[in-house]
Chain A
Amino acid sequence: MNRREFLAAGVGLVGATATAGTLAGAVWPLLSREDLVPGQAPDIQLTPHAWRTGDDRVSFAALGDNGSGGRQALAVAEQMAITYQTAPFGLVALLGDICYYGNFRRRFDTVFRRPLGPLIDAGVGFELAIGNHDNALHFSDQGLSAIEAELELLGTPGRYYTTSQGPVDFFFLDSSIPGLYGPRASEQLDWLDDALASSANQWKVVALHHPPYSSGHHGSTPGAQERLVPLLSRHHVDLVLSGHDHDYERIEPQHGVTYVVSGGGCKTTRVGRSAFTAVSERTLQFLHVEVVDDLMTATCVRPDGSVADRFMLRAREGT
């Protein structure tokens, strides 16, 4: 073998080894995991304001980690519109990470307007629990202005706030560090303590991005079970909705509080089971919730319309 042959063969063999490792270890898993392939927005006309909200009833949906704008996000959004046709809802609780792969202001059409267009046109409202991809850099001015731009575009009042719909009081939290669990968390926790104490409605639903309990890729959020969970138990919160892990999980009631991870808005990751797990599944999904008087019925819907889970709760304050 002459010098050129040796050099060319060496380049080929080293390149083949490195390429095989890179593709199998990083590139193909990334293509499989992310929702990068674009698709067409749902073309569905919905009857505006078709839902019924009264003192004793309300319907809403919960959607987490939906910020890709790709085919999978579009499939979930389309199924939400289809579900609206038969079971209309007036509110979508966004559980964070509403924008991946770039800035929300720049990607607004792709990740929000196009996928959720039928619901937006029908007058459905959107509330947001800020996620880590909505901008984790809270300490920087750039990070804060990105979050504020997001809130402004969505028309939500702040980084954490409460709102009421029918018999439900919703509490939207900013669970990013230092929002809820870091050293400067006491401000929001004190606010939540006061807000829950003064809540007069029959139902209390808390929405935040990072799950206190999870058996998914990220797992239970450190600090949540020590700092947040006792507060939620003490105030008889009925349901806690979260995202962050890209799966669906329902947790066995913990001190009377039911926890749900609904993070399958556009991509999925593996999920296991823990002692606290009631249901867990790796699937794209959203949650449809109907509250009538003291009964809540929640349904986890896959993009093909099939049901991954259904559960019912009785209002804790109502029992």
Chain B
Amino acid sequence: MSGRATDLAVAAGFVLVGFAVVVAPAIAVQSGVLNAGVGSMDTDLLAASAAAGAAHVALAWRRLRDEERIAARRLHVWIASLNSLVVLALSASVLLLLVLYWFPDEHASLANRGFPVSLLWAGILGVAIVLAEATARFFFWWLEPHRSPTHGPGLP
């Protein structure tokens, strides 16, 4: 496999796993609904998760391709992406769980007034994606060689 093909395959793998961990909490909730014997189920959370997952795919794909172009070593891109996936997986699920568990009455009150729960859901996933992107960029910056600042002519 050529270096370019490897880059593409690894990048595709990272973004697909990222998509999966963004959608996983909604799948967990829906599996609970299915196990509960409810005939029909709302798919709004799945749709919100799929939208957030797609946004993550677009952001991460662009970052990965940019980093692969400028990286001193490909390994730096992959290590940074692995760390960002960990943050994404953990924050997407745990943030949702904590927010839903600690503020159930506030959410129930909002939902009862017609506020779409899917917006809250997508918003939390959005925070997880931002955290994951920040992690990827930090690790990539930290791993890459840091050049000494150059001084212009005439300066001491």
B32 within 8 A of A: yes
Binds B, one of A127-135, A170-178, A215-223, A281-289: A281-289
Identify A302's interface contact among B39, B85, B93, CB under 8 A. B39
- Indicate if the CB atoms of A8 and B38 lie closer than 8 Å: no
Q: Are B107 and A5 in contact (CB under 8 A)?
A: no
- Contact B32 A31, beta carbon cutoff 8 Å: yes
A15 and B94 CA atoms in complex are apart in Å by: 14
Contact residues in A for B110 (Cβ distance below 8 Å) = 38
Q: Is the CB of A110 within 8 A of B104?
A: yes
Q: State the CA gap A71–B76 with chains docked (Å).
A: 44
A89 nearest CB across to chain B (Å): 22
Instruction: Check if B6 is an interface residue, CB within 8 A of chain A.
Output: no
Q: Decide yes or no whether B82 CB sits under 8 A from chain A.
A: yes
Quick one: CB contact mask for B17-41 with A, threshold 8 Å, 1 for yes? 0000100110011011101111110
Give every chain A residue within 8 A of B89 (Cβ-Cβ): 19-20, 23
Which residues on the A side are within 8 Å of B108 (C-beta)? 38, 69-70, 109-110, 114
| B24–A23 CB distance below 8 A | yes
Q: Is A256 an interface residue (CB 8 A)?
A: no
Q: Is the CB of B40 within 8 A of A304?
A: yes
Q: Which residues of B contact A191 (CB under 8 A)?
A: none
Residue of B nearest to A6 (CB): B79
Q: Does B61 contact A (CB under 8 A)?
A: no
Interface size on B, residues (CB 8 A): 46
**Using a Cβ cutoff of 8 Å, how many contacts connect chains A and B?**
143
Given A16-B85, A38-B111: A303 and B97 within 8 A (CB)? no
Q: Is A267 within 8 A of B142, CB to CB?
A: no
CB pair A5–B79 under 8 Å, yes or no, is yes
- On whether the beta carbons of A40 and B112 are closer than 8 Å, the reply is yes
User: What residues of A have a CB within 8 angstroms of the CB of B35 in the complex?
Assistant: 32, 268, 282
Residue A37, interface by CB 8 Å: yes
CB of A12 closer than 8 Å to a CB of B = yes
Any B CB within 8 A of the CB of A27: yes
A23 interface neighbour in B32, B90, B111, Cβ under 8 Å = B90
- Give Cα distance in the complex from A29 to B93, angstroms: 11
Q: Does A107 contact B (CB under 8 A)?
A: yes
**Pair B105/A39 contact, Cβ less than 8 Å:** no
Contact between A36 and B100, CB atoms less than 8 A apart? yes
Contacts of A101 in B (CB 8 A): 101, 104
- CB contact list, A292-311 vs B, under 8 A: 302-304, 306, 308
Contact, CB under 8 Å: B25 / A31: yes
| B12 vs chain A, min Cβ distance (A) | 18
Encode contact with A along B56-97: 1 for CB under 8 Å, 0 otherwise. Answer: 000000000000000001011001101101100110011011
- In A78-116, the 8 Å CB interface with B consists of 101-102, 106-107, 109-110, 114
Query: Which of A15, A37, A68 has most B Cβ within 10 Å?
Result: A37
Nearest CB in chain B to that of A106: its residue: B105
B131 at the interface (CB under 8 A from A): no
Residues of A within 8 A of B86 (CB): 12, 15-16, 19
Residues of A within 8 A of B104 (CB): 36, 38, 68-70, 101-102, 107, 110
Residue B16 lies at the interface, judged by CB distance under 8 Å to chain A: no
**Which listed residue, A28, A107, A283, touches B37 by the CB 8 Å rule?**
A283
Specify which chain B residues have a CB less than 8 angstroms from the CB of A164 in the assembled complex. Answer: none
B96 in contact with A31 (CB, 8 Å): yes
Q: Which of B38, B45, B109 contacts A72 (CB 8 A)?
A: B38
At the interface, yes or no: A30 with Cβ under 8 Å from chain B? yes
Contact A110 B105 (CB under 8 A): yes
Q: Which residues of A contact B45 (CB under 8 A)?
A: 37
Q: Does A75 contact B (CB under 8 A)?
A: yes
Distance (Å) between the CB of A309 and the closest chain B CB? Answer: 12
Q: How far apart are the CA atoms of A285 and B39 in the complex, in Å?
A: 12
The answer to whether B37 and A302 have CB atoms under 8 Å apart is yes
Cα–Cα, bound, A97→B100 (Å)? 19
A40 touches B111 (CB 8 A): yes
* Residue A278 is within 8 A (CB to CB) of chain B in the complex: no
Nearest chain B CB to A281 CB, angstrom units:
7
Tell me whether B25 and A306 are in contact (CB under 8 A): no
- Interface core residue of B85, B110, B111 (most chain A CB under 10 Å): B111
A–B complex contacts, Cβ < 8 Å, 14 sampled: A11-B83, A12-B79, A19-B89, A23-B24, A23-B89, A23-B93, A31-B97, A32-B31, A36-B100, A69-B104, A70-B108, A101-B104, A107-B104, A303-B37
